[in-house]
Amino acid sequence: MFRLSKTRCIATSAFALPGLAMAGLPTAQAPSRGEGSNLIQTMQNYAYDGFLLLGLIICAVVFCGVAWHAFGTYHEIQLGKKKWMDLGATAAVGVAILGVAIFLVTKATAIL
């Protein structure tokens, strides 16, 4: 008898608790370009947002790469292997690379 009531309790919980848990979830947010008139346009708008996020991630990776290289150059300055001019060159080239990456991502989003 105890096993049957325990099974009933588990079955009732399995059906009732997910409904209670999903009651507090927010609805999905519309894409930045709007819902669209049909499913295909809505999916294209979500894809546009995804590609914008991918471009942002690419720019962040480029920034981290430039910063990593600059820290390495600073470390080699402390060891006496490089000079401060090398750090300045790293900073100048890094700013140029970041500028080009941001420019290309901005142009790519206009194509989408």
For residue 19, the model assigns a pLDDT of 64
Q: What are the two backbone dihedrals, phi and then psi, of residue 32, each rounded to the nearest 5 degrees?
A: -65, -25
Of 1 and 32, the one with more pLDDT: 32
| Cα angle value 96/98/102 (rounded, 5°) | 120
Q: Characterise 80 by phi-psi region: left (phi > 0), alpha (psi -120 to 50), beta (else).
A: left
**CA pair distance 15, 89, nearest whole angstrom:** 64
Distance CA 56, CA 105 (A): 8
**69-98 pLDDT tens trace:** 999 999 999 999 999 999 999 999 999 999
Cα 75 from chain centre: 30
Q: Please determine, for residue 7, whether its predicted confidence score (pLDDT) is greater than 90.
A: no
Spatial contact of 101 and 73, defined as CB atoms under 8 Å apart = no
Q: What pLDDT score does 28 carry?
A: 78
Specify the pTM.
0.68
